[in-house]
């Protein structure tokens, strides 16, 4: 029996409403969906400042996963570290990153240690991740390394060096592009980020 036997039921192999078509633009699992830019890097890299500039230029919102964790927990990141330890904070952070990557269409700034979780690194695969690299001297100038940062509380300069020795390969591993921020203004860093991502947006 063919379509000619049923003129009211034509054979339409290319129906646009077929759920199994691979070119549907609304598939939720497409890696192209999600944040326009995801910033990673250590303390002092300028993720929040540069993120705000990028959000303004792109006409989107900025979201910070450290702020998400603090809001959800009802206490500061430093207090979470003191009261519950780093492992508990990392669990909250991983959940916050996953939610933000799935939900947020703008600019996303991740906490410095978010890349420590393998699940987070997998989640970032194929996404527009930018590693804002920074030298110790610039990090000190920007934040002083004497602020309320739990992992830098004792001998902050040496702690920062140790953190970077461990984390640098993780940052570069998830990043689509690396932007060296040394000696640059936040505006110049934002320009460099947009210039670096431009070829990948086509």
The answer on whether 75 is annotated among ligand-binding residues is: no
Contact 77, 69 (CB under 8 A): yes
The answer on whether 167 is annotated among ligand-binding residues is: yes
One pLDDT digit (tens) per residue for the chain, 202 residues:
444 444 444 443 443 443 343 333 333 344 558 999 999 999 889 999 999 999 999 999 999 999 999 999 999 988 898 888 889 999 999 999 999 999 999 999 999 999 999 999 999 999 999 999 998 877 777 665 555 555 444 566 777 788 889 999 999 999 999 999 998 999 999 999 999 997 644 3
What distance, in Å, lies between the first and last C-alpha atoms of the chain? 46
The values of phi and psi at residue 157, to 5°, are: -65, -45
pLDDT value, residue 19: 39
- Give dist(CA 107, CA 24) in Å, integer: 25
Q: Compute CA 169 distance to the chain's CA centroid, rounded to the nearest angstrom.
A: 16
- Enumerate residues 6+ apart whose C-beta is below 8 A from 159: 151, 152, 153
pLDDT value, residue 191: 97
The answer on whether 111 is annotated among ligand-binding residues is: no
The answer on whether 63 is annotated among ligand-binding residues is: no
The answer on whether 112 is annotated among ligand-binding residues is: yes
The values of phi and psi at residue 15, to 5°, are: -60, 135
The answer on whether 59 is annotated among ligand-binding residues is: no
- Give dist(CA 115, CA 134) in Å, integer: 17
pLDDT value, residue 138: 79
The answer on whether 126 is annotated among ligand-binding residues is: no
Contact 145, 152 (CB under 8 A): yes
CA dihedral 86, 87, 93, 97 (to 10 degrees): 130
pLDDT value, residue 3: 44
pLDDT value, residue 143: 63
The answer on whether 46 is annotated among ligand-binding residues is: yes
The answer on whether 90 is annotated among ligand-binding residues is: yes
Strand extents, DSSP E, 47-155: 62-64, 107-109, 129-133
pLDDT value, residue 43: 83
The closest of 70, 64, 43, 49 to 106, measured between CA atoms, is 64
The answer on whether 144 is annotated among ligand-binding residues is: no
> C-alpha angle with apex 26: 24 to 65, nearest 5 degrees?
140
Q: Which CATH superfamily includes the segment(s) 33-201?
A: P-loop containing nucleotide triphosphate hydrolases (3.40.50.300)
pLDDT value, residue 27: 33
pLDDT value, residue 180: 95
Helix 186-197 vs helix 47-58: angle between axes, to the nearest 10 degrees?
60
The answer on whether 47 is annotated among ligand-binding residues is: yes
Phi-psi region of 41 (alpha: psi -120 to 50; beta: other; left: phi over 0): left
């Amino acid at each position: 029996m063919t379509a000619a036997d049923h003129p009211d039921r034509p054979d339409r192999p290319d129906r646009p409403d077929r759920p199994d078509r691979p070119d549907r633009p609304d598939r939720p699992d497409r890696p192209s969906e999600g944040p326009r830019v995801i910033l990673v890097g250590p303390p002092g890299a300028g993720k929040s400042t540069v993120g705000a500039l990028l959000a303004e230029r792109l006409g989107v919102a900025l979201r910070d996963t450290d702020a998400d964790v603090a809001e959800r927990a009802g206490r500061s990141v430093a207090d979470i570290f003191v009261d519950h330890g780093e492992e508990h904070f990392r669990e909250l952070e991983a959940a916050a990153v996953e939610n933000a990557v799935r939900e947020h269409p703008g600019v996303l700034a991740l906490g410095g240690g978010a890349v420590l979780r393998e699940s987070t690194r997998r989640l970032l695969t194929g996404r527009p991740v930018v590693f804002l690299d920074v030298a110790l001297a610039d990090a000190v100038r920007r934040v002083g390394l004497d602020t309320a940062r739990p992992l830098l509380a004792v001998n902050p300069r040496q702690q920062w060096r140790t953190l970077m020795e461990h984390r640098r390969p993780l940052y570069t591993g998830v990043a689509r592009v690396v932007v060296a921020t040394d000696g640059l203004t936040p505006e110049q860093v934002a320009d460099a980020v947009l210039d670096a991502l431009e070829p990948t947006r086509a």
